[in-house]
Amino acid sequence: MMKAGGGQETPKTPEKSSTVYAVQCGECFKWRLIPTKVEFEDIRSKFIENPWFCNRKSDMSCEDPADIEYGTGQIWAIDKPNLPKTPVGYERILVLRRDFSKFDAYYITPTGKRVRAPSEVEKFLGANPKYNDVAVSDFSFAVPKIMEDTIPRNVGGKSCSGSSSKKMKTSQVDDD
């Protein structure tokens, strides 16, 4: 089973955060940083049939210290294994709710339209036949699980009195 994370969200201010991607070795269980969102999505999309091991990272072995330790003052979110990679030309966005209870997922289409559910993807594809090289099944609105034990007490969490309908946008990672 995949123990590797989606992004781990690191709040700096309530409005600004950064995302790093990490995967957990299937042998030594150490966390290894993955440099890009694209590379992380590739690993995640095949995780069950092709588990990740330290030796897949150049000049790395299970004998090396972990790249990052769980917790370490950051909010962690663990993604599900085998979610499909984001189709080329689309962007998958995760928005962390202000109360840190969960993420909301949506996609930005090649035309700039935001879609929030498979039915909206289907509607977009029907209205834009030139983008029918992808299927609704190529999109996943499953979201990473927030690891509650990594939410600092001073930022709220599920017991926060703020409205869960308010959202905080996480920063985007450039995958150059």
Domains of the chain in sequence order: 5-169 (3.30.890.10)
Give phi and psi for 55, each to the nearest 5. -70, -5
Digit-coded pLDDT (tens) for 6-40: 343 333 334 445 788 999 999 999 999 999 999 99
Which pLDDT score, from 0 to 100, does residue 17 have? 57
Largest CA distance in the chain: 53
Digit-coded pLDDT (tens) for 44-100: 999 999 999 999 988 999 999 999 999 767 889 999 999 999 999 999 999 999 888
DSSP for 112-135 reads: S-EE-SHHHHHHHHHH-GGGTTS-
Which pLDDT score, from 0 to 100, does residue 72 have? 67
Higher pLDDT, 161 or 46: 46
Structure tokens belonging to residue 83: 């979610």
pTM for the whole thing? 0.75
* Per-residue pLDDT at 173 exceeds 60: no
Digit-coded pLDDT (tens) for 111-138: 999 999 999 999 999 999 999 899 999 9
**Alpha-carbon gap, residue 33 to 78, rounded angstroms:** 14
* Per-residue pLDDT at 171 exceeds 80: no
**Alpha-carbon gap, residue 118 to 165, rounded angstroms:** 21
Which pLDDT score, from 0 to 100, does residue 151 have? 86
**Alpha-carbon gap, residue 121 to 124, rounded angstroms:** 5
